[in-house]
Chain A
Amino acid sequence: MELSWRIAYNFLRDGRAQTLLIIVGVAVGAAVIVFITALVDGLQGNIVQRTLGTQAHIVVSSPDLLPLAQAVPPGTVDLRSTDARPQRLRSINNWPGVLGVLQQLDGVTAASPVVTGPAFAQRGAAVRAVAVIGIVPQRYVQVIPVNQDMVQGRFNVGASQILVGNRLAQDLGLRVGDKLRVQGASGGSQVFDVAGVFSLGVRDLDQRYVYMGLKPAQALLGLPGGVTEIDLTVRHIFRAEAIAERINRLTGLKSESWMTTNGQLLNALKSQTLSSALIRFFVALSVAFGIASVLAVSVVQRTREIGILRAMGATRGRILAVFLYEGAAVGFAGSVLGAAAGAGMVWVFNTYGPALFYVPVAFSLVIEAVVLATLAGIAAAALPAMRAAGLDPVVAIRYV
């Protein structure tokens, strides 16, 4: 075993109570860091998962229509006032081609063509405004797993089968097997069979969404053969914005990620991440100061022994190494204990806590905590170690 490490180890073992106290101190800090990080990550993961349970990661649609004003020659001052153009429902040009391209895109795991637009649902005298969503079922469930949200009937859309939200079903008194007339804004209408009732858990959506096959929806919305948007799932959800921008550059289509449409949520998540990072930083800082102060005391206590070692021919570098090792050892031992304790706290939270959501502890988080604490221990030991290495052996030996 390397001598400096052996000396460090024996010094730590010799100062038993002191060593134990600082290791417990480091452990408490590491436990707090692991617990808070796991909790915040778990909470955020849960929120994001719930949000993305009802919306696509990226929605690609036709670019907005621009005002039909003649472009002015360069250098001319344009004093005209132009109104924004109303955005009528329209299909993505050559959508099968676009779909093929998007599917091949790096980071995209699923793509689903969708035709969606406004319509009225009518049963007897009751009329409700709804959003018709025409889908290719086996593709769509890879984007939004509606098939897991069925509360009645089966997930089955087709030429005359539709799915309605449970709120709409309640409003119109619908049950599986009932008939429902849906009327498109352009005047066409069709009577459908309600094949199932779903609940996405979002009141507004459950009141307005009506899922049907691609063909009947195209007919109702007056877009034969067309789709209004292509919904995408990406592998890493926080890369969605970058991928959306890439799609926009690549195809010229309008491409919006969930990160844009949920700006406020993302903002909240970011400030939460920031505040937890601050907590972690200050806990780590106080732990580092703790290590530094204990080692500073230890250097004073070991002054004479440092002097003897120097007299016997130990170099300054060796003395420096001894105290750096002490810092590293304390950081490592404390953080291993602390990470275990933090994981234990998470387990208690999962088992006996409010059980609103499950908090996983990533193994990488534990490794990260241990590595960081060990490095912090070394950094904290730097000053005391330099002091020890700089001791004048003449003074040190006669230190009482």
Chain B
Amino acid sequence: MSEPVSSNPSAGDVDPVLRLEGLRKSYQIGTPLETEVLHGVGFTLRRGEFAALVGPSGSGKTTLLNLIGLLDAPTGGELFLQGTPTRALEDAERTALRGRAIGFVFQFHHLIQAFPVLDNVLMPALVQGVRRSRELEAQGLALLDAVGLAAHAHKRPNELSGGQQQRVAIARALLTRPPLVLADEPTGNLDTHSADDVFALLRRFNHAFGCAVLVVTHDPRLAQRCDRILNLVDGMIVRDQPVAPGSAPEPAQQPAAT
């Protein structure tokens, strides 16, 4: 699983994966009434960076994540994904870029129950028009192997536990090797043990593939294990600080390294 991409976050800042400039989002609530949720959010996420986005509920975390994930369009400011300005993109272009550049991990794992585990992992590639081939299947199986679920490749998602399903979702998010992975409360629905597993997996893939990871979490324990913590309060980043190395001990139970 060696990748040419450097896993060192401080290497070459020429081409940040994500750059936000004065990003604003307001919603229309009734004809003359508008409510602004994000009041000019700006930060940069470099390759291989592993950042946590924390903040109280109602602070706009979900809205911000939707914008970054190109699921929604901002009403002000600009969002650069790998240097490409995205605000003016048409739905079709936005969809294509989203499929290419972003991997999603959701709180409720969101696997498609109608398909077996392996098909779920392959889905991002298939949806983007890649033909199902032995190579693609091998790639999917390797990822499932990396998350320790190769034996379950042909089961239905609902035959797996919550933690296992979330690991499948992580494998799915990484299939197309996106430069950016967005995780929305990936451990919010799991017990501590599973949560640690899932988090460690994200961390490992972050090292292995050099993808930038942005994790939204409520769990300060997990946030402390990221490289950097972005604190969003009332639609503004109020604090953006690196985590001192060694401030949080790695959990003892780590899946076998590749």
Tell me if A11 and B124 are in contact (CB < 8 A): no
Tell me if A10 and B128 are in contact (CB < 8 A): no
Tell me if A14 and B113 are in contact (CB < 8 A): yes
Tell me if A305 and B71 are in contact (CB < 8 A): no
Tell me if B115 and A10 are in contact (CB < 8 A): yes
Tell me if A313 and B99 are in contact (CB < 8 A): yes
Asked if A66 is at the interface of the complex by the 8 Å CB criterion, the answer is no
Taking residues whose C-beta sits less than 8 angstroms from the other chain, chain B's interface range is 20 to 34
Chain A residue contacts of B95, Cβ below 8 A = 310, 313-316
Per-position binary interface string of chain B over residues 66-78, scored 1 when its CB falls under 8 Å from any chain A CB and 0 otherwise: 1001011000000
Tell me if B104 and A394 are in contact (CB < 8 A): no
- Which interface residue of A10, A309, A393 has the most chain B CB atoms within 10 A? A393
Asked if B91 is at the interface of the complex by the 8 Å CB criterion, the answer is yes
Asked if A3 is at the interface of the complex by the 8 Å CB criterion, the answer is yes
Chain B residue contacts of A305, Cβ below 8 A = 110, 112-114
Q: In the complex, which residues 9-46 of chain B have their Cβ closer than 8 Å to any Cβ of chain A?
A: none
Extra A-B contacts (6), CB below 8 Å, given A10-B115, A13-B114, A310-B71:
A3-B127, A14-B113, A308-B110, A311-B104, A314-B99, A392-B72
- Known contacts: A310-B95, A315-B92. The answer to whether A397 contacts B71 by CB under 8 A is yes
- Known contacts: A14-B113, A305-B114. The answer to whether A394 contacts B71 by CB under 8 A is yes
Tell me if A312 and B72 are in contact (CB < 8 A): no
Asked if B98 is at the interface of the complex by the 8 Å CB criterion, the answer is yes
Chain B residue contacts of A394, Cβ below 8 A = 66, 71-72
Chain B residue contacts of A123, Cβ below 8 A = none
Report which B residues bind A (CB closer than 8 A).
62, 66, 69, 71-72, 91-92, 95-96, 98-100, 104, 106, 110, 112-115, 123-124, 126-128
Chain B residue contacts of A14, Cβ below 8 A = 113-114
Taking residues whose C-beta sits less than 8 angstroms from the other chain, chain A's interface range is 20 to 34
Tell me if A304 and B98 are in contact (CB < 8 A): no
Ranked nearest first, the 8 interchain pairs of A and B with the lowest CB-CB distance are A313-B99, A14-B114, A10-B114, A312-B124, A314-B127, A394-B71, A393-B71, A308-B110
Asked if A139 is at the interface of the complex by the 8 Å CB criterion, the answer is no
Asked if A318 is at the interface of the complex by the 8 Å CB criterion, the answer is yes
- Known contacts: A314-B127, A316-B91, A393-B71. The answer to whether A11 contacts B110 by CB under 8 A is no
- For residue A17, give the distance in angstroms from its CB to the closest CB of chain B: 14
A307–B98 CA distance with the chains assembled, in angstroms: 13
- Known contacts: A3-B126, A316-B91. The answer to whether A311 contacts B69 by CB under 8 A is yes
- For residue B86, give the distance in angstroms from its CB to the closest CB of chain A: 14
